[in-house]
């Protein structure tokens, strides 16, 4: 069975501001898991996203700060102040399943159609 592509919305953290970008034709695979440990519930959610190089040839990621959501999300983060930014982030997370990008790699092997960025997150 072939994987289907989807749009993703990324909130790139740059100069203390979140800037919204939408990328098309991405592969999205998430795994939601939880386990109970001595100190309580532990979340082990994980994410793998592949973005075609043609969609984002010069992608720059702020690991641990950039956020990603499945789909074309119209929500804009209010970067007016730290307080409005914090309130916006809470609202975004309340309305959507938001992941934080923890690593990324440029994959340039194969034909140009095969070249892509691999992102992972939690």
pLDDT at 44: 52
The CA-CA-CA angle for residues 95, 96, 100, to 5°, reads: 135
Domain boundaries, the chain: 6-121
C-alpha torsion 89→117→121→91, nearest 10: 10
For the chain, give the mean pLDDT.
Answer: 90
Q: Which is nearest to 66 in space by CA: 116, 17, 23?
A: 17
Q: For residue range 52-97, list pLDDT tens digits in order.
A: 999 999 999 999 999 999 999 999 999 999 999 999 999 999 999 9
User: Which residue bears the tokens 């809470």?
Assistant: 90
Instruction: Using the predicted structure, report yes or no on whether residue 1 has a pLDDT greater than 80.
Output: no
Res 39: pLDDT = 58
């Amino acid at each position: 069975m072939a994987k289907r592509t989807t749009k993703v919305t990324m909130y790139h953290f740059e100069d203390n501001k979140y800037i919204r970008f939408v990328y098309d034709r991405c592969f999205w695979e998430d795994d939601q898991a939880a386990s109970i440990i001595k100190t309580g519930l532990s979340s082990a959610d994980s994410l793998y996203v592949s973005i075609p190089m043609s969609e984002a040839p010069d992608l720059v990621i702020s690991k641990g700060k950039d956020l990603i959501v499945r789909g074309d999300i119209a929500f804009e983060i209010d970067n007016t102040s730290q307080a409005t930014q914090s309130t916006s982030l809470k609202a975004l997370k309340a309305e959507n399943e938001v992941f934080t990008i923890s690593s990324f790699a440029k994959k340039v092997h194969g034909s140009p159609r095969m070249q892509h960025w691999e992102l992972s997150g939690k």
